[in-house]
Amino acid sequence: METRRLGKNGLEVSALGLGCMGMSFGYGPPQNKREMIALLRAAVEKGVTFFDTAEVYGPFTNEELVGEALAPFRGTVKIATKFGFKPSASDPAKWNELDSRPEHIKQVAEASLKRLKTDAIDLFYQHRVDTGVPIEEVAGAVADLIREGKVRHFGLSEAGLQTIRRAHAVFPVTALQSEYSLWWRKPEEEVIPTLEELGIGFVTFSPLGKGFLTGAIDEHTLFDKTDFRNVVPRFAPEARKANQGMVDLLGNIAKEKNATPAQIALAWLLAQKPWIVPIPGTTKLNRLEENLGATSIELTQDDLREIEHAASQITITGARYPESSERMVDR
């Protein structure tokens, strides 16, 4: 698989990474650990070198899974994880409060290193911007960890323009992680031009619209009671019905290319900028193989213009987060 460079400090990763959250958290019950270890190792064998996790996924269990699965490959793979959440004071089972105090960041780093079975975190993201802590202090704390050799690169997730600029002025930000896909294109307005100006890579989560752009979900699909999509407005049955046009568009192009809708959605992202790295998640080997097939699909300028024209006629319905989560997104 081709590789791509994130930022200006030498972080080189596979053109497609693997988002690991759904193996332990978010999309229904945790998957079988032995099967997920096998899937992670199969990804390495197929050329994936970039894996995404976070302490809050589980919490902790996803980092432990990734650490155990990838321990034999630490010389060849890059692992990204995140800090910035803490348990709710009123309900410790809910990790829905923010904490990016420097002392907390350093505590999280030490714990994550143990769970990941490694001596250095390749990419350490602030998971959500904590307005209670100046971003300069956050950047300074991660810079300290980098100087100590415990972290290699600094990242931000769902950060706004001013936060990105302020953080980058203190210590170079290697990558921003945010949602970007054919059904969430807001980053094109200001974020992508800013990243290009500053030389920051873009790691795109939910590149398949949390599964919707694969064509495997329609208005009648029922999710497990523990699946967070149950509370996402964009996944209300009426919104899914209204948004079917985007899936139909991808399906039509996929037929022309002898591909799948998911592959076209990923190929479109890869064609946007050479420093964009999507991290689709999956728990199934056949879906992993399907996603990786996107790297061999070439979309011509005519193809991209056709997609752009058709997509511009489609209005996407529904917010991408419930209100409680939307409040945590930096503007």
Question: Could you tell me the residue ranges of all domains in the chain?
Answer: 3-326
pLDDT at 269: 98
Provide the residue count of the chain.
331
Tally of CB atoms within 10 A around 32: 12
What pLDDT shows up at residue 93?
87
Residue 234: C-alpha distances to residues 72, 209, 243, 280 (Å): 39, 10, 9, 18
Residue 60: per-residue pLDDT: 98
pTM of the model: 0.98
153-163: per-residue pLDDT in tens?
A: 999 999 999 99
Give the tokens for residue 41: 């190792």
As a whole number, mean pLDDT of residues 178-204 equals: 97
Q: Which amino acid is at 275?
A: W
Q: Which entry of 57, 125, 180, 321 is annotated as an active-site residue?
A: 57
Q: Tell me the sheet residues that pair with 154.
A: 124, 173
Pairing relation of β-strands 276-278 and 201-205?
parallel
Q: Is the pLDDT of residue 89 over 80?
A: yes
Cα 296 to Cα 37: distance, rounded to the nearest angstrom: 26
C-alpha gyration radius of the chain: 19
Residue 184: CB atoms within 10 A of its CB come to 18
- Pairwise CA distance, residues 148 & 37, whole Å: 30
Q: Are 66 and 48 in contact (CB under 8 A)?
A: no
Distance CA 130, CA 309 (A): 38
Query: Is the per-residue pLDDT at 331 higher than 80?
Result: no
Tokens at residue 141, please? 């704390």
Q: What percent of the chain has pLDDT over 90?
A: 97
pLDDT in tens, 214-265: 999 999 999 999 999 999 999 999 999 999 999 999 999 999 999 999 999 9
CATH number of 3-326: 3.20.20.100
State both tokens at 13.
């990763």
Question: H/E element holding 286?
Answer: helix 285-292
Question: Does 57 qualify as catalytic in the annotation?
Answer: yes
182 and 154 Cβ atoms separated by less than 8 Å: no
Which residues are CB-neighbours of 313 under 8 A, at least 6 positions away? none
Q: Looking at 208-217, 287-296, 315-324, which range is the least confident one? A: 315-324
